């Protein structure tokens, strides 16, 4: 596992310890709308569901976009046809902020995925309290027991879980633990290199009743059409959208590409 990722996880464990000591805060989380159907939103027949991500920075890319009001961005995503929104909430490494989530939830009608490094059940409760409709669970950083417990916690609260895998072993473990939405991350966690073939190799191994989401490295409509033919049902795209001078236009491009099969509308 890449040393940078190990650094992030060490910091996240410290955050979890602090959260356990102070408890889940509720300030600013009053009157958050009820849970929305993330799974249904990203699995509409005959098209790729676009999960558009609000992401200002990453350890691999540095600053992606100068800080902009997340609500403004989220509303652009919705108007341009995105199926759901992913909000990065890690502060130190991704310049995110969990406190943006309640306001974003109130300002859009799309389901919202909280994207962070979830290691403990208290973070699931925190996500629910702040208005998340789904959370990301990264199989590689969790033991089998942790993954099963976190999936069970999500089910109990009504949250969807996007369970991220990177190879066959991850996929096998995720399926054995009951994951229903499988996110295939095209980024290698050791080298941080990106290869869309990761999705194309793993997607056929996912049972039909599950939803396959491709993550990382998706740049344009051509990529989406290739992934669609490979059995992918949804894509999570952040950097290429957030870097664009025309955020709404880029989202529309990706959404439109996901409605086309073999060059036909």
Annotated catalytic sites, by residue? Answer: 53, 55, 115, 164, 185, 215-216
Cβ neighbours around 21 below 10 Å, total: 7
Cβ neighbours around 72 below 10 Å, total: 12
Contact present, 83 and 44 (Cβ < 8 Å)? yes
By CB atoms closer than 10 A (0-12, 13-18, 19+), residue 205 is: middle
Among the listed residues 39, 19, 47, 94, the one whose alpha carbon sits nearest the alpha carbon of residue 211: 39
User: What does DSSP say about strands 57-58 and 112-115: parallel, antiparallel, or unpaired?
Assistant: unpaired
Contact present, 254 and 225 (Cβ < 8 Å)? no
């Amino acid at each position: 596992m890449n040393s940078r990722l190990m650094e992030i996880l060490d910091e996240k464990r410290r955050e979890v310890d602090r959260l356990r000591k102070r408890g889940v805060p509720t300030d600013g989380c009053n009157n958050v709308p009820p849970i929305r159907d993330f799974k249904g939103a990203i699995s509409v027949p005959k098209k790729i569901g676009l999960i558009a991500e609000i992401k200002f920075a990453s350890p691999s890319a540095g600053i992606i976009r100068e800080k902009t009001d997340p609500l403004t961005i989220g509303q652009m995503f919705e108007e341009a046809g995105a199926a759901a929104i992913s909000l990065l909430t890690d502060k130190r490494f991704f310049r995110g902020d969990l406190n943006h989530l309640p306001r974003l939830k109130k300002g859009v009608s799309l389901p919202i995925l909280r994207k962070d490094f979830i290691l403990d059940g208290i973070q699931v409760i925190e996500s629910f309290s702040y208005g998340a409709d789904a959370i990301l669970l990264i199989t590689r950083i969790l033991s089998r027991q942790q993954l099963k417990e976190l999936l069970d916690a999500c089910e109990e609260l009504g949250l969807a879980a996007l369970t991220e895998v990177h190879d066959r072993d991850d996929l096998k473990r995720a399926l054995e633990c009951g994951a229903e939405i499988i996110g295939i991350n095209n980024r290698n966690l050791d080298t941080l290199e990106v290869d869309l073939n990761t999705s194309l190799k793993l997607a056929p191994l996912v049972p039909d009743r599950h939803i396959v989401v491709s993550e990382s490295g998706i740049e344009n409509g051509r990529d989406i059409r290739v992934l669609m033919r490979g059995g992918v049902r949804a894509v999570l795209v952040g950097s290429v959208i957030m870097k664009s001078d025309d955020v709404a236009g880029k989202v529309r491009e990706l959404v439109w590409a996901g409605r086309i099969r073999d060059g036909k509308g």
